[in-house]
Amino acid sequence: MKGLTERQREVLQVMIDHLLDRHTHAPIRFIAAAVGISSTNCVAEHVRALERKGYVERVDGDGFATPRVLRWPDGAPFKLRTRREPTPPWCEGCGDQDDGCEECNGAA
């Protein structure tokens, strides 16, 4: 897998943050504003480079091809449920956030 330029890494990180925060793929105009690039064509070129390198793919919808994230900047596969920070413990019995909740005491 080819490495990323600093700008490509920045564009990819904006796309990932948008997806994790809003659960939708980032539009090109949003990416442009977030990284401080006035030209949406320039952002589209960075996204095409990310696509060639296997980090994103284009998804058609509403007449525009929206980029979808496939990999983290380090090249690891991206999954929406993947978190960047450690996740809190979850009760295996009911799924609540706590290792041993009062309702089921962690019993499955």
Phi-psi domain of 58 (left: phi exceeds 0; alpha: psi -120 through 50; beta: other): beta
Q: How far apart are CA 41 and CA 37, in angstroms?
A: 10
pLDDT tens-place string over residues 10-21: 999 999 999 888
pLDDT tens-place string over residues 23-34: 888 888 999 999
pLDDT tens-place string over residues 44-75: 999 999 989 988 887 765 445 667 787 777 77
Using pLDDT thresholds of 50, 70 and 90, give the confidence band for residue 88: very low
Model pLDDT, residue 65? 61
Domains and CATH numbers, the chain: 6-69 (1.10.10.10)
Using pLDDT thresholds of 50, 70 and 90, give the confidence band for residue 94: low
The answer to whether 62 and 51 are in contact (CB under 8 A) is no
Model pLDDT, residue 102? 58
Residue 3 or residue 104, greater confidence: 3
